[in-house]
Structure 1
Amino acid sequence: MTRTVAELVGLLRSSCSMPRGPAQIAVLEKVIREADALRYTDLALDARMLATSAYLEDDEPSKAFATFWWCVAAHDRTKSEHGCRNSLLWCFKSIIMALLGLSEVPLHHIHGVLDDMERRYRAAGFGVNAVHQHRWYVADHVGDAVAAAEQYRLWWATPRDQLSDCLGCETAGRVEHLADVGRDEEAIAMAIPVLAGGLDCQEQPQRLLTALLPAYLHTGRLDEAADAHRRAYLSLREEHANLSLVAEHLRFCTLTGNHTRGLQLLERHLDRLDRPPSPSLDMAFSAAAAALLRRMAEAGQGGLPVRGRRNAGSRVADLEAELRDRALALAMRFDARNGTSRQSDWVHAVLAAEPIVEHLPLSGLLPTTRLTRATPPAAQVDPALSAEELADLAERAARKHDDRVAAAAWRRFDEVCPDPSPELLARSLDERGDLIADDDPAAARDQWTRAAALFAEAGDEQRSLTALSRIDLLEVTTAPSPDAAVAAVATLRARVDQVLAVAGPEQAARALGRLSHAQRTVGRFAEAIATLERAAELAGAAPASELHAELALRLADALAASGPENLRQAIDHARRAAECFGALDAREGQCQAQLLLGHLHTAAGDLHAAAAVLRKAQASDDPEVRAQAYHQAGRVVAAQGRVEDSHAAFAWAVAEFAAAGNPVGDALARVDFADACLRLERPDDAADALEDVSPRLERTIDPEALDRARFLLASAYRDLGRFAMAIVVFEELAASRAATADHGGVGQAHAHIAVVLAQQDRHHEAAQRFHRAADAYAAAGQPLAEVENRRRAALAWHRANDLERALQALDAAATKVGLDDADTTTSWHRAMLGYDGAQILADHQRVDEALARVDPVIPLFRSIGATGEAVAAQTLSGRLLLSLNRKKEAAKVLRAALRQLPPEGDEQRAAIEELHGQATSR
Structure 2
Amino acid sequence: MARPKKRFQQLIEEIDRTPWGPAEQALVSEAVALAVEIGDERLEYEARMRQTASANMGGATDVMLNSFAWCLAHHEADPQRFPADLDNGGADLMWQFKWMAASLRSSPAFSQDQIAAVLDDMEKHYRAGGLGLSGVLTARFEDAWDAGRIDEAETLRVQLEATPRDDHSHCDACGRSQIAGFFADTDRDAEAIVLVEEMIEGGFSCGEEPEHALSRVLLPYLRAGRFDEAKTAHLRSYRLAKDNPDNLRIVANNIVFAALTGNEARALALVEKHIAWLAHDGLNVDAHFAALAALAVALDRVTAAGYGDTPVRGADSPALVPFFGEHEGRWSAAELAASAWTAADRIATAFDERDGTDGHARSLGRMRALSDEQYDVPIRSDAFVAPAPSTAPVDADGWFERAMQLAQFGAEHETLDALPRALEVEDPYKRAQLLSMRLGILIAFERADEALELLPQRIAALRAAGRDEQAALEEHLGLATFGIDTPEATADLEDAIADAASLPAWSRGDLALSRAALHLQAGEADAALDLAELAARSFAEADDTRLANTTTLVAISAVLRKGDMEAATALLDRFLSQEDLSTGHRAQALQTRARVRGGGNSYAEGAADADEVCRLLAELGATRALGDAHLLAGALWEDADEPEKAVSRYRLAAHIASEGDGDSTGVDFRLARVMLRAGDAEEAAELFGDVLQREEEADVAAGSRAMTASMLARSLSAAGEFGQAVGAHSYASELFGQAEEHADQAMSMTEQAKILARFDEHDDAIELLESAAETVRRAPEAVGALSEVLHSLGQAYGGRGDERAFALFDEVAALAQQHEAEWLLADVTDSRGRALAELGRIDEAVAAALTAADGFAALGDLGSAGGSELFAARVLAGNDRAADAVPLYRSTIDHAADHPPLLQVAALELGNVLESLGRHGEAAEVRALVQS
User: TM exceeds 0.5?
Assistant: yes
Contact kept? 2:614, 2:629, Cα under 8 Å: yes
Give the count of matched residue pairs. 761
- Aligned in 2, Cα 1:210/1:446: closer, same or farther, shift over 3 Å? farther
Counterparts of 2:402 and 2:815, CA distance in 1: 75
Structure 2 residue aligned with 1:411: 421
| % same residue | 14
Tell me the distance in 2 between the aligned counterparts of 1:281 and 1:519.
68
Per-residue deviation, 1:651: 1.2
CA pair 251-810 structure 1, distance change in 2 beyond 3 A: same
Structure 1 residue 647 corresponds to structure 2 residue 655: no
| Aligned: 1:851 with 2:872 | no
The amino acid of 1:573's aligned partner reads: L
1:590 maps to 586
Q: Does 1:453 align with 2:456?
A: yes
Give, in whole Å, the separation in 2 of the partners of 1:760 and 1:98.
Answer: 40
Change (3 A) 1:607 1:425: closer
Which of the numbers 125, 143, 148 marks the counterpart of 1:135?
Answer: 143
Cα distance change, pair 540–474 in 1 and its aligned pair in 2 (3 A): closer
Compared CA separation, residues 828 and 242, structure 1 to 2 (3 A): same
Map of 2:749 onto structure 1: 750
Q: CA deviation at 1:448?
A: 3.0
Give distance in 1, aligned partners of 2:356 and 2:469: 77
- Contact 2:98-2:136 within 8 A present in 1 as well: no
Write out aligned runs for 1:302-451 (5 A). 364-365=379-380, 369-370=383-384, 372-373=386-387, 375-381=389-395, 397=405, 400-401=408-409, 411=421, 414=424, 429-432=435-438, 441=445, 448-451=451-454
* Residue in structure 2 matching 1:891, options 878, 882, 900: 882
C-alpha distance 159-517 of structure 1, shift in aligned 2 (>3 A): farther
Residues 827 and 794 of structure 1, relative CA distance in 2, 3 Å threshold? closer
Contact in 1 for aligned 2:234/2:254 (Cα 8 Å): yes
Q: Which residue of structure 2 aligns with residue 79 of structure 1?
A: none
CA RMSD, 1 decimal: 6.5
SS of 2:380 mapped into structure 1: coil
Q: State the Cα deviation string for residues 633-691 of structure 1 (Å, max 9, x = none).
A: 444444444x3xx4134313422552364664655554444333223321122234445
If the length of structure 2 is used for normalisation, what is the TM-score?
Answer: 0.62
The question of whether the paired residues in 1 share the 8 Å contact of 2:743 and 2:786 is answered with no
Secondary structure at 1:816's aligned position in 2? Answer: helix
Deviations 1:123-157 (A, max 9, x none): 97989984553223664xxxxxxx64554454677
* Cα distance between partner residues in 2 of 1:109 and 1:468: 93
Alignment check: 8 A CA contact 1:286 1:323 kept: no
* 2:825 is aligned with 1:810: no
2:731 and 2:438 mapped to 1: Cα distance? 45
2:745 alignment partner AA: V
Q: Secondary structure at the match of 2:615?
A: coil
Shift of 1:603: 1.9
User: Residues 213 and 225 of structure 1 are in contact (CA less than 8 Å); yes or no, is this contact kept in structure 2?
Assistant: yes
Say yes or no: does 1:235 pair with 2:240: yes
Distance 2:404 2:321 in 1: 51
In 1, are the aligned partners of 2:634 and 2:649 still within 8 Å (CA)?
no
Query: How far apart are the structure 2 equivalents of 1:764 and 1:916?
Result: 39
User: 3-state SS of the aligned residue for 1:692?
Assistant: helix
SS at match of 1:234: helix
Question: Kindly tell me: are residues 320 and 628 of structure 1, through their superposed partners in 2, closer, same or farther at Cα, counting changes over 3 Å?
Answer: same
Whole-angstrom distance in 2 between the partners of 1:558 and 1:702? 36
Does the 8 Å contact 2:876/2:882 carry over to 1? yes
Letter in 2 for 1:448: A
Secondary structure of the residue aligned to 1:378 is coil
Preserved CA contact (<8 Å) 1:167 1:194: yes
Give the AA of the match of 1:592.
Answer: Q
Counterparts of 1:809 and 1:473 in 2: how far apart (Å)? 72
Q: CA deviation at 1:452?
A: 0.8
C-alpha separation in 2, matches of 1:51 and 1:917 = 71
Aligned residue for 1:773, secondary structure, equals helix
SS at match of 2:802: helix
Q: Is the 8 A contact 2:631 2:667 kept in 1?
A: yes
Aligned position for 1:80: none
Contact between 1:578 and 1:589, CA under 8 Å: does it hold in 2? no
Q: For the residues of structure 2 that align with 1:362 and 1:530, how far apart are their CA atoms?
A: 60
Distance (whole Å) between structure 2 residues aligned to residue 399 and residue 194 of structure 1: 63
Q: Cα offset for 1:813?
A: 1.0
Alignment of 1:450-529 (within 5 A): 450-455=453-458, 462=470, 488=485, 490=487, 493-494=490-491, 496-497=493-494, 500=497, 504-510=504-510, 512-521=512-521, 523-529=523-529
Contact 1:710 1:733 in 2 (8 A): yes
Q: 1:172 aligns with which of 181, 190, 196?
A: 181
Are 2:399 and 2:418, in contact at CA under 8 Å, matched by a contact in 1? no
**1:588 shift after superposition:** 3.1
Q: CA deviation at 1:121?
A: 15
Tell me the CA shift for residue 762 of structure 1: 3.4
Q: C-alpha distance in 2, partners of 1:249/1:456? A: 63
Distance 2:802 2:777 in 1: 19
Could you tell me which amino acid in structure 2 is paired with residue 365 of structure 1? R
1:765 alignment counterpart: 764
Q: What is the alpha-carbon distance in structure 2 between the residues aligned to residue 559 and residue 663 of structure 1? A: 33
- Structure 1 740/685 Cα, relative in aligned 2: closer, same or farther at 3 Å? same
2:876 alignment counterpart: 878
Tell me which moved more, 785-794 or 691-700: 691-700
CA positional deviation for 1:551: 1.8
CA separation of 1:688 and 1:861: change in aligned 2, threshold 3 A: closer
Contact 2:509–2:539 (Cα < 8 Å) also in 1: yes
- Encode CA deviations 1:257-282: one digit per residue, 9 max, x unaligned: 97876665689x99x98xx9x96499
Residues 21 and 54 in structure 1, CA contact (< 8 A), matched pair in contact too: yes
CA contact (8 A) 1:707 1:733 kept: yes
- Do the aligned residues in 2 keep the contact of 1:379 with 1:405 (CA within 8 Å)? no
User: Structure 1 residues 240 and 51 mapped into 2: Cα distance closer, same or farther (>3 Å)?
Assistant: same
Match of 1:311 in 2: none
SS at match of 1:774: helix
Give 3-state SS (helix, strand or coil) of 2:893's partner: coil
Q: Secondary structure at the match of 1:871?
A: helix
Q: Structure 1 residues 578 and 152 mapped into 2: Cα distance closer, same or farther (>3 Å)?
A: farther
Rounded to whole Å, the distance in 2 between the matches of 1:473 and 1:300 is 46
Equivalences for residues 647-796 of structure 1 within 5 A: 647-656=644-653, 658-659=655-656, 661=659, 664=662, 666-693=664-691, 709-723=708-722, 725-731=724-730, 733-734=732-733, 737-738=736-737, 742-781=741-780, 785-786=785-786, 788-793=788-793, 795-796=795-796
Residue 550 of structure 2 is aligned to residue 550 of structure 1: yes
CA–CA distance in 2 between the matches of 1:795 and 1:18?
A: 35
How far did 1:919 drift? 7.3
In 1, Cα distance between the equivalents of 2:274 and 2:410? 39
Determine the structure 1 residue equivalent to 2:568.
570
Tell me the residue number matched to 2:4.
none
- Is the contact made by 1:423 and 1:454 (CA closer than 8 Å) also made in structure 2? no
Contact 1:757–1:765 (8 Å) recurs in 2 = yes
Moved more, 821-830 or 612-621: 821-830
Q: SS of 2:543's equivalent?
A: coil
Tell me, yes or no, if the aligned pair for 2:379 and 2:683 is still in contact at 8 Å. Answer: yes
Counterpart residue type for residue 509 of structure 1: G
| Contact 1:624-1:656 within 8 A present in 2 as well | no
CA deviation map 1:65-84 (0-9, x unaligned): 989x99xx99xxxxxxxxx9
User: CA shift at 1:116, angstroms?
Assistant: 5.8
Aligned counterpart, 1:601: 597
Change (3 A) 1:679 1:757: same
Q: Which residue of 1 aligns with 2:169?
A: none
